[in-house]
Copies of this chain bind each other. A is one copy, B any other.
Amino acid sequence: MTQSKEHIRAFIAHETWLLNTQAWDEWTALFSPAGAYWMPLTPAQDSPKNHVSLMYEAAALRAARIARLKKSDGLSVETMPRSVRHVSSLIIDSISENEWHARAAVMMAEYARGEVNTFHGTVQWHLQASGSGLVIELKRVDLINAEGALSDILTYI
């Protein structure tokens, strides 16, 4: 089924709300079976394989991280990080009848161990129609300071 831009916009707002409310399971379920979350290290990076990344997680690694977050299991997530994302200036382009590319500005603020850390960048989604809805093939976040000295990022942006 073809999706209107309005549907896609709502899908992305929904995706953001799930992350913002720490609804990790519902969030990862938005991905296609092979869908991946990617934070490259450099803006020109075209693959997670030939260059180191900040994060590259398909379903299994996401499941591992999410299990930690949900149970506060792991020293760094013991205090249960709480985070919120600000997605703005969304632009949606059709790739094909069933495929879209979306891009926006993104900022994430993550609260853990008494400190708030913030991260800024752009975000891109590769979306596909699936049944009556949409799935994420790839979500890519490019931080402006990805190559700088960063400290912990515990949740998804």
Contact = CB atoms under 8 A, between A and B. Distances in A.
Interface of A: 10, 12-14, 16-17, 20-21, 43, 82-91, 103, 105, 107, 109-111, 114, 116, 118, 120-122, 144-145, 148-149
A91 B86 CA distance: 13
A91 B17 contact: yes
For chain A, what secondary structure do more than half of its interface residues adopt (helix, strand, loop), or is it mixed? Answer: strand
Contact of A105 (B16, B111, B122): B16
Nearest to A83: B144
Nearest to A149: B114
Given A120-B84, A120-B116, A103 B17 contact: yes
B14 A91 contact: yes
Most buried by B among A17, A114, A120, A145: A120
